[in-house]
Amino acid sequence: MHDAAYFIQLLLSGVTVGSLYALIAIGYTMVYGILRLINFAHGDIFMMAGFFMVYISATCSLAISIPLVLILTVVLGVLIEKAAYKPLRTAPRMSVMISAIGVSYLLQNLATYITGGIARAYPDITFLTKVMQVGGLSIKRITIITPILTIVLVAILVVLIQKTKIGMAMRAVSRDFETSQLMGIKINSVISMTFVIGSFLAGVASILYFANYGQVSPMIGAMPGLKAFVAAVFGGIGSIPGAVIGAFIIGICESFIKANENIAVFSNAFTFALLIIILLCKPNGLFGEKLTEKV
């Protein structure tokens, strides 16, 4: 009963949502790769970036506020690492994770306190939100820009990790934390760099996400954060291409499930069921490396 345009529309919105999940998922997967820490505050950094934009764009033009938002988001991410994770570097892994949950709640409640709990309108970035007519389809520019930008950013990131010195240091640290420290790698600057990259991508994702949906509220980071986390685990946590592919698969599947009236209510359940299944059948995810514990 549906025409081809309908399915293309579904596919497009799935790819867009998937690429947003991908940008967030990279932050999860990189931090996990290096610190073996699931940074639960990542979704809230994404939310805070949204609020930075709301407040900054009230006084500045977009040309100033977009870079400023990205810088502030990066600063926030690094600050969180310095304040909440670094002092716990020698503590058991569980303590750091609980600290991350604490930061997540702190950010959510801080945002609720400052905004009074009301959703704020996101500034209209007309360059992104303009609607184009292609055939029988109405497509927002953002729908096309998001996946392309994501792929470009991921390509740059892969080059950074494979070809540069800091990238080599990152790979070394993710292999063996202590040995790389012994080899003279400045572990703190590598970790800071990880948070810089993760937060930067979360900042980019937040601009694309909120420009598309038009408003920011204090709790909005939780769901995309969780979905991105599932994507990271699905693709094999620690693996960047894995996170991206996992995110695309989840985005597209969700889109088709939500379009079917009969099973639409299960769209979130599907994502989390997928998490359980992948953990049961392939605990290391699609592209995860199998680590052999050395005695």
Distance (Å, whole) CA 222 – CA 253:
20
> Interface with other proteins includes 117 (CB under 8 A)?
yes
Q: What are the CB-based long-range contacts (under 8 Å, 24+) for 82-90?
A: 82/192, 84/41, 85/35, 85/37, 86/188, 86/191
Nearer to other proteins, 138 or 179 (CB): 138
Of 126-165, binders to other proteins (CB under 8 A) are 129, 131, 133, 138, 140
Which one of 58-66, 71-79, 80-88, 220-228 is the stretch in contact with other proteins (CB under 8 A)? 220-228
Nearer to other proteins, 177 or 270 (CB): 270
Alpha helix segments (H runs only) across 116-186 = 126-129, 141-163, 165-175, 177-182
Total chain residues near other proteins (CB under 8 A): 42
Nearer to other proteins, 116 or 184 (CB): 116
| 3-state SS, residue 132 | strand
> Interface with other proteins includes 121 (CB under 8 A)?
yes
CA distances from 181 to 22, 217, 232, 268, 293 (A): 30, 41, 26, 41, 19
Nearer to other proteins, 218 or 288 (CB): 218
Q: Give the distance between the most distant pair of CA atoms in the chain.
A: 65
Distance (Å, whole) CA 161 – CA 279:
27
CB 64 within 8 A of CB 190: no
CB 9 within 8 A of CB 134: no
> Interface with other proteins includes 98 (CB under 8 A)?
no
Of 44-63, binders to other proteins (CB under 8 A) are none
Q: Site for other proteins (CB under 8 A): which residue of 84, 106, 110, 119?
A: 119
Q: Which residues of the chain form contacts with other proteins (CB under 8 A)? A: 1-3, 5-6, 9-10, 13-14, 16-17, 112, 116-119, 121, 124, 129, 131, 133, 138, 140, 209, 213-215, 217-220, 222-223, 255-256, 258-259, 261, 264-265, 267-268
